[in-house]
Amino acid sequence: MELQKTPLNDCFVLKPNVFRDERGLFYETYNQKVFEKTTGLNVDFVQDNQSVSSKGVLRGLHFQRGEMAQAKLVRVVKGKVLDIIVDIRKDSATFGKSFSVVLDDVEHLQLFVPRGFAHGFITLSEQSIFSYKCDNYYDKASESGIIYNDATLALDWHLPSEEFIISEKDLELPNFGEAVSHYPSNS
C-alpha cells in the first residue's frame, strides 16, 4: 500500500496493492497492520457504511460534532465519484481548506479523512457503490454539515448543477461560517 500526502494536514490518499490476472483482480480493502504501518496511526474503526447513488447524487458535506466526530476511510466499490473534504479544525493550519480526489473502481484509491473534517461526494458514473469505515458510531443528534454550494468554499463538483440530486436535508445545511461557529476547535 502506498501513502500519498494531501495539502490538508493528517489527511491522505492510500493506493492499495491490486493483484490483477486473467480472472479479474484482488486486493485487501483493509488490513489493520498494513494501515498502521503505512500511516503511523492506530485507528479503531467501529462501523462500516455503504451507500448506492445514481449519477449526480451529491451527499454532504457532513460531519458529526464534538465527541461523536468520525474519522473515515472511504473508497468506491463500483463506479466513480468526486470526493471532497473540508478542514473544520479551527486550530489547524489548513482550517477552511478543501481537497478533492476522484475515487473509482479502476485505481481503487482510498481517502483517509480524520476527525474534524466535513465530507461529501458526488457520483460521476451512472451508479456508485460507496463504502467506508468510521471510527465512531452514527449519532443523529451530533449530525451537522455545510451546504454544498457555500460561497466561501466555492467547491467545484465537476458536474453541471442542473444534474445534482440532493436530499431535502442537505439542501438545508448551514453555510461554512455558521457550521464551524458551533464546532469545537479541539475535534
Ligand X SMILES: Cc1cn([C@H]2C[C@H](O)[C@@H](COP(=O)(O)OP(=O)(O)O[C@H]3O[C@H](C)C(=O)[C@H](O)[C@H]3O)O2)c(=O)[nH]c1=O
Find the angle CA(69)-CA(74)-CA(80) to the nearest 5 degrees: 140
Decide: residue 103, CB within 10 A, 0-12 exposed, 13-18 middle, 19+ buried.
Answer: buried
Shortest CB 122 distance to ligand X, Å: 10
Beta-bridged to residue 58, according to DSSP, are 122
Reply yes or no on whether 158 is catalytic: no
Reply yes or no on whether 137 is catalytic: no
> Cell for 69?
466526530
Could you say which of 27, 138, 161, 177 contacts ligand X (CB under 6 A)? 138
Contact 107, 15 (CB under 8 A): yes
The residue number with the shortest CB distance to ligand X is 138
Could you say which of 60, 79, 114, 116 contacts ligand X (CB under 6 A)? 60
Does residue 51 bind ligand X (CB under 6 A)? yes
Identify which range of 17-25, 32-40, 57-65, 92-100 contacts ligand X by CB under 6 A. Answer: 57-65
Provide the 3-class DSSP secondary structure of residue 68. helix
Cβ closer to ligand X: 80 or 119? 119
Q: Under the rule (CB under 6 A), what is the footprint of ligand X? A: 49, 51, 59-60, 62, 119-121, 138, 167
Q: Point out the residues that are catalytic.
A: 62, 132
